[in-house]
Structure 1
Amino acid sequence: MPHSDDFLAVHDPAAVQAAHEPGSENRRWWGFAVALAAGLVLLCALTWLVSVQRGLAALQESTATRADRYAATLESTLDRYEFLPALVSLHPFVRGLLQAPGDPARVAAANHYLAEVNRRSHASATYVIATNGIALAASNAGEPGSFVGTDYRFRPYFQIAARGEMGRFYAIGITSDEPGYYIAQPVESGGKVIGVTVVKLNLEWFQRAGGGSAEPLMVSDDHGVIFLSSVPGWQYRTLGPLPPELHDELGKTRQYHDRDVTPLPLEPLTSPVTEWLAATALDPGARLVRVRANGTNRDGSERADRYLELGRKVGPADWTMQVMAPLDPVLANARNATVAAALAYACICLLLVNWRQRRQRARDMLYSRRLLEAAYDELERRVEARTADLMAINEKLEEEVAERTRAESELRAAQDELVQASKLAALGQMAAGITHELNQPLAALRTFSDNTRVLLERGQLGAAEGNLSAIADLTERMGKITGQLKLFAGKARPPRRSVQVRAAIEHVLALLAPRLSGVALHVDGLDALPGIAVRADELKLEQVLVNLVGNALDAIASAAPAQGRIDLSVRAEAGTVTIQVRDNGTGIPPEDLPRLFEPFFTTKETGQGLGLGLAITSSIVREFGGQLSAANADGGGAVFTIVLARAPAEAGAPASQTH
């Protein structure tokens, strides 16, 4: 049974009209949209806060576990070496040295003993200091940077041990310039301190313990100076500003040698949201901090890395170990959860909007039907008129396409005829030279034939056979000359897969041999071309070369025919073959270079050319998928460059054999 509102909408035209009043409909939609937007904002805020709260709790739990593990590792190392100076102080070699510091034998025995202790305990250094602060023996005695003879009176660990107490101190060595943890033990005799034994430990391995993870790890002393850190830029920085008197004390004790101890830009995150999160999700020993870094974010704000900081007290020297867990994964998970909640909310909103639209669609049906009936009648009239116009346009387009097809066919036929005419024109220019070439073998044929008849009459068969061989060679030579002309004058055939470049150049040079007489011809790169082939048609490629060499001959003839020179170079690369034809003629005027390949444009005198040679040549090269360019050469003359696609050599061999 239909809904009562839908039933009213279909059967009450007045209700339909009221439902389509612009003001009331817009107000309803605006109110609905504002309610959905407010719900989205509230949902996203709650989702983000809950996700961050849970993420911080989980991050704190995992970080606390790692912090306890790091603290236990450092504590065990310090405890393991805590009693080593006391054991060293009890050895007779050490006590004997302190009683007689000037005895070389006792010094050597103490050095040997300290070196053995240091090797077995894997400490950085072990040494003995007299009451005047001078080191008497050391495990690195005799080595570069030995501690022997160094004055340590300024070091706090010596001063504490000299008073009869155990001294502990972390500092950078003034001799080795290597940081370490110093444990000093007083050596007493008769209730009086007679010396100090010191063991130095290298703790830099500890800052590498957290270097493989994404969370920075650092250890600071009782003054707040960070002396161990998995982040190199944080080492020897302070957790806060140092008082002037403490700065002076660090300078006097040379605890950190020549390092510039400056505050680390670390500050707590302070905002109502972070304070609420810290109060609800974190333990008292944890806090949210940020460390300002160099550079800026994309929005121009100062770049800062945010962390969850957990601290642990370690060692007898009142050190503080801090593990910094990045907050970015927690915030990223919160963003993802917020986006997921927003998407879910959006899906619910879409369902609500869809349901609302379906109800609205039921109200719109009657109203739309009336509009559609009127629009349908008008559309029918317009469609009929538009259909008639489209049919007329379609017929006109078909006529234009047919006309264009006929024009392209005629243009292609005319181009082929122009190519053939260009070849025949080139043949006409070569006629005189060919005639000269044929006259010489014809005269020789007449002489050899007369001599052969006389030799046969005399019975000199051997000499007659030699004349007949000469006649055969002359006949073959004349056949090659006329064969080249016949082949060049023939119609172009469909393009083959590849053409041997060397064979094509040799055929062209043989064809133009009469015109090249008296011209200095230099061919470069031809011997390196066996098997090099290009994708082209052999006849058209030879026509291109004949046109370019013929133009070079014309340029030489108009400039300095007695000193004419033509350079033909070939260079094969990975995927292309480049052919250059250069002459030492007058060159090409710069203003003519842009129009050089236009049809009917010529730089020759009237009656000496139609201006089609270079246009046809450029068209043929483009048909091969190559490029033809022209330029003025350095030193005078012009240079034409052909770049063709290279083809497999074995495919080009049969093409060259047709000649």
Structure 2
Amino acid sequence: MPHSDDFLAVHDPAATRAVHAPDTGSGRWWGFALALAAGLLLLCGLTWLVSFQRGLATLQQSTATRADRYAATLESTLDRYEFLPALVSLHPFVRGLLDSPHDPARVAAANQYLAEVNRRAHASATYVIAANGIALAASNHGQPGSFVGTDYRFRPYFQIAAGGKMGRFYAIGITSDEPGYYLAQPVESNGKVIGVTVVKLNLEWFQRAGSGAEPLMVSDDHGVIFLSSVPAWQYRTLLPLPPALQAEMESTRQYHGRAVTPLPLEPLDSPVTRWLAQTTLGANARLVRVRDEARAARTTFTPDATLRADRYLELGRTVGPAEWTMQVMAPLEPVLANARNATVAAALAYACICLLLVNWRQRRQRARDMQYSRRLLEAAYDELERRVKARTADLMAINEELEEQVAERTRAESELRAAQDELVQASKLAALGQMAAGITHELNQPLAALRTFSDNTRVLLERGQLAAAEGNLTAIADLTERMGKITGQLKLFAGKARPVRRPVVVRTALDHVLALLAPRLGAVTISVAGLDEQPGLSVRADELKLEQVLLNLIGNALDAIASAAPAQGRIDIEVQADGGTNSGTNSGTNSDTNGGTVTIAVRDNGTGIAPEALPRLFEPFFTTKETGQGLGLGLAISSSIVREFGGQLSVANMPGGGAQFTLVLARAPASPGANEALPVSTPL
């Protein structure tokens, strides 16, 4: 085409004018296009710069807030434990240990004290080091990897504390191989350091304080990162370490067995970053880049795409008395993405304006497009309205269903409350029945004894044996008093009064019970073992309730022998004392020491108890007797009484036949003359 235009321009002037006119218009168009392109580039550049600056300021503000929170959390933890070594050093156990380090008693006392302090303070370890650097006591004494006996003279915190100052040091333990923050306090006596108390804190939890997309690290005064939420960054250095410092770290074994290498971290240095540092970033903030080797290692930390970026906004804070540096690394990718989105949006808006300016002649076509778009919009609106109506109908149906469910649940709750009220009423009636049946059950034996004693007294009076009759009358008075005490137990059912416990002599209680059961013994042989050697043996209980339990157990043994009808019925009562000393004489002089238990075993030679009945034997209203011979409350009440005494009642079948009930009670010192057996006449 250029060749054809040249040919026409040479041979036809009119054609020349027709050709040059388009050329002139084309030049103006290209100039306009270049101006639009320059405006687009300028707009994109300004939009990106302003958006990035605003996003960076917002990111810096939010990151600074989080950095302050992280720093406050770490400092509060360090401050909370700052005075713990000093408090430990003031305890007499610690100073006594340092005065006599070879005394086993003081070593044991210090170990126990350190373990208790460490448990209550939730520290990793607490230990005491002598002035020669050897650990004398530790909270982990007796455990694998105990600090006791380890030489800590090479540790800087011990060297500082041995010089009379507070030592602070973060290192990896040479014994436990666990990192921690060491606080060392000198222990002085007469102006001389005699030892050092050390508390070790585990700060690994701080690595998980930050979010997954925001790396967090803490470095010491040498620039070594000892805490980091990115595992690949831990035990790396911000700057290369001088050889002298490397040798010092190896001698102190600060990072025991860890290779400390530089982290490929470098600041972003460009005109834009320098301008941002002057206008937007604060004194403790900068833009940095982590090279690809750290990026590749970090991709194993989390699959989040934001952590695969290698550009960060770094904010530093000085934390702790050791003046550590905490650095929060906020990824720049979200800010860059927002800046790119804003730039693209601005470019699109600019392009739309340019298109409007360029295509203003196509208004008719635009009108047709708008009309078409309007029809599409109306159709979409109609579709949306139809969907809204359908959704509204669904919501109304769901609402009605929910109302029905609420009404049903309200009815169910009302029925549940009514059932609960009925259950409470039934429980009250059951408790009332149990109390009445229990009192009736416990009064049967004294009433039978009263009748026997009264019959005997009448016979004795007829015979003129007044002394024996007087003894029976005394026994009747004693039984009457005991029946009054039994009925007085109703107060314990009605109220929450705590029963009175005092030392009760076992022999006296057994004598009273056997006297009550004398009419039922007949040919049954009763043997009592274990009381001849210690007649003053006592237990902590209530006298009447203990006799009530023994009466029930021996009465059940008599019933078992009667039902089995053996050739020779026998009941063995064995009393054993475990722990403490409790000796006495018949005159009532006792030498008692608290502690231990007393076991009373009641054994019979009946047929025993069926295996299926053993688990339910102590349930209320469960009985193995025939109908009308028992209510099934005796053992349930006895078990409840024993639990009140803090004891235990159990049952088991004996290998040779019969059953054994074992009663275990707390042993108590017997007061002089307490619970001495009353003389009771044997019924005729």
TM-score of the two chains, using structure 1 as the length reference: 0.50
User: Which stretches of structure 1, 4 residues or longer, exceed 3 Å deviation after superposition?
Assistant: 14-22, 356-359
Partner of 1:232: 231
Deviation of the 1:296 alpha carbon: 9.1
- 2: CA distance between counterparts of 1:312 and 1:105? 47
Deviation at 1:34, TM superposition (A): 1.1
Residue of structure 2 equivalent to 1:44: 44
Q: Tell me the secondary structure at the aligned position of residue 222 of structure 1.
A: coil
**1:346 aligns with one of 333, 351, 362:** 351
Matches within 5 A, 1:291-310: 291-294=290-293, 305-310=310-315
Long gaps (5+) in structure 1:
1-13, 298-302, 360-659
Q: State the AA in 2 paired with 1:132.
A: N
| 1:266-287 deviations in Å (ceiling 9; x for gaps) | 1110001111122111112211
Paired amino acid for 1:80 = R
Give the conservation status (yes or no) of the 8 Å contact 2:295–2:310: no
1:260-275 aligned at under 5 Å gives the runs 260-275=259-274
Note if 1:53 corresponds to 2:53: yes
1:500-523 deviation line (CA, Å, top 9, x unaligned) = xxxxxxxxxxxxxxxxxxxxxxxx
Q: Determine the C-alpha separation between the residues in 2 that align with 1:288 and 1:279.
A: 12
Query: What amino acid is the match of 1:354?
Result: N
Q: Name the SS for the 1:171 alignment partner.
A: strand
Instruction: Tell me how far apart the structure 2 counterparts of residues 15 and 127 of structure 1 sit (CA, whole Å).
Output: 106
Distance 2:156 2:204 in 1: 21
Secondary structure in structure 1 of the residue aligned to 2:182: strand
Residue 335 in structure 1 maps to residue 335 in structure 2: no
The secondary structure found in structure 1 opposite 2:330 is strand
Q: Summarize the alignment of residues 302-381 of structure 1 with structure 2, pairs less than 5 Å apart.
A: 305-355=310-360
Aligned residues of 2:118 and 2:124 also touching (Cα < 8 A): yes
Mapped contact 1:219–1:322 kept (Cα < 8 A):
yes
Equivalent AA in structure 2 for residue 355 of structure 1? W
Q: Which letter does structure 1 place at the counterpart of 2:334?
A: P
What is the Cα deviation at residue 293 of structure 1? Answer: 2.6
Aligned CA distance change for structure 1 residues 203 and 295 (closer, same or farther; 3 Å):
closer
Work out whether residues 170 and 180 of structure 1, in 8 Å CA contact, stay in contact via their aligned partners in 2: yes
Could you tell me which amino acid in structure 1 is paired with residue 84 of structure 2? L
Q: For 1:65 and 1:304, locate their aligned partners in 2 and report how far apart those are by CA, in whole Å.
A: 22
Aligned counterparts of 1:189 and 1:234: Cα–Cα separation in 2: 44
Match of 1:646 in 2: none
1:62 aligns with 62
- Residues of 1 paired with 2:21 and 2:15: CA distance? 10
Residue matched to 2:663: none
- Residues 292, 304 of structure 1: 8 Å contact kept: no
1:104, CA displacement in angstroms?
1.1
SS of residue in 1 equivalent to 2:291 = strand
Identify unmatched segments of 5+ residues in structure 2. Answer: 1-13, 297-307, 365-684
Q: What SS class does the counterpart of residue 140 from structure 1 fall into?
A: coil
- What is the alpha-carbon distance in structure 2 between the residues aligned to residue 79 and residue 28 of structure 1? 74
The 3 A distance-change label for structure 1 pair 19 and 320 is same
Which residue is equivalent to 2:181? 181
- The code of the aligned residue for 1:307 comes to Y
Deviation at 1:18, TM superposition (A): 4.1
Report if aligned partners of 2:186, 2:195 keep a CA contact under 8 Å in 1.
yes
Question: 2:264, 2:294 within 8 Å by CA — same for their partners in 1?
Answer: no
Question: In 2, are the aligned partners of 1:114 and 1:127 still within 8 Å (CA)?
Answer: yes
Q: CA deviation at 1:53?
A: 0.6
Change in 2 beyond 3 A, CA 1:358/1:208: closer
Is the aligned partner of 1:100 residue 2:122? Answer: no
Shift of 1:15: 12
Partner in structure 2 of residue 373 of structure 1 = none
Q: How far is the alpha carbon of 1:88 from its aligned partner?
A: 0.5
The Cα shift of 1:355 comes to: 2.5
Residue 32 of structure 2 corresponds to which residue in structure 1? 32
Q: Aligned partners of 2:68, 2:363: CA distance in 1, in Å?
A: 61
Q: Measure, in 1, the Cα distance between the counterparts of 2:126 and 2:194.
A: 17
Query: In 2, Cα distance between the equivalents of 1:35 and 1:209?
Result: 53
Aligned 1:381-420 pairs, distance under 5 A: none
2:161 is the alignment partner of 1:156: no
Q: Is the 8 A contact 1:293 1:304 kept in 2?
A: no
State the distance in 2 between where 1:272 and 1:99 align.
Answer: 67
Contact 2:313-2:331 within 8 A present in 1 as well? yes
- State the 1:16 CA deviation: 13
CA contact (8 A) 1:19 1:25 kept: no
CA distance in 2, matches of 1:118, 1:350: 75
Q: Secondary structure at the match of 2:277?
A: helix
Decide whether aligned partners of structure 1 residues 311 and 340 sit closer, same or farther in structure 2, where only a CA change above 3 A counts: same
CA distance in 2, matches of 1:296, 1:34: 41
Superposed, which structure 2 residues align to 1:423-434 within 5 Å?
Answer: none
Q: Could you tell me which residue of structure 1 aligns to residue 553 of structure 2?
A: none
| 1:86 alignment partner, SS class | helix
Which residue is 2:203 aligned to? 203
Counterpart residue type for residue 243 of structure 1: P
Secondary structure of the equivalent of 1:110?
Answer: helix
2:226 and 2:119 map into 1 onto residues whose CA distance is 25
- Asked if residue 72 in structure 1 is aligned to residue 79 in structure 2, the reply is no
Distance 1:130 1:293 in 2: 49
- C-alpha distance in 2, partners of 1:296/1:67? 23
**2-structure distance, mates of 1:16, 1:336:** 49
1:70 is paired with a residue whose SS is: helix
Residue identity matched to 1:258: G
- Conservation of the 8 A alpha-carbon contact between 2:235 and 2:258: yes
Residue 139 (1) aligns with residue 139 (2): yes
Q: In the superposition, relative to structure 1, how do residues 140 and 255 fare at CA in structure 2: closer, same or farther (>3 Å)? A: same
- Determine the C-alpha separation between the residues in 2 that align with 1:237 and 1:195: 34
The equivalent of 2:87 in structure 1 is 87
- CA RMSD in angstroms comes to 2.1
Native 8 Å contact 1:55 1:330 kept in 2: yes
Question: Are 1:286 and 2:291 an aligned pair?
Answer: no
| Cα separation, partners in 2 of 1:296 and 1:34, compared to 1, 3 Å | farther
8 Å contact from structure 2 (residues 264, 293) kept in 1: no
State the 1:19 CA deviation.
Answer: 8.4
Counterpart of 2:253 in structure 1 is: 254
Distance in structure 1 (CA, Å) of the matches to 2:41 and 2:15: 36
Q: Is the Cα contact below 8 Å between 2:161 and 2:186 reproduced in 1?
A: yes
1:142-189 residue CA offsets vs partner (Å, 9 max, x unmatched): 001110111100000000011111100000000000000000001111
Match of 1:627 in 2: none
| Residues 235, 259 of structure 2: 8 Å contact kept | yes
Contact 2:232 2:294 in 1 (8 A): no
Partner of residue 545, structure 2: none
> What is the TM-score normalised by the length of structure 2?
0.48
Residues 295 and 170 of structure 1: CA distance in aligned 2, closer, same or farther (over 3 Å): closer
Match in the other structure for 2:240: 241
One-letter code aligned to 1:324: M
Partner of 1:222 in structure 2?
Answer: 221
CA distance in structure 2 between the aligned counterparts of 1:16 and 1:357, rounded to whole angstroms: 30
One-letter code of the match for 2:272? Answer: V
CA distance, structure 1, for counterparts of residue 332 and residue 278 of structure 2: 17
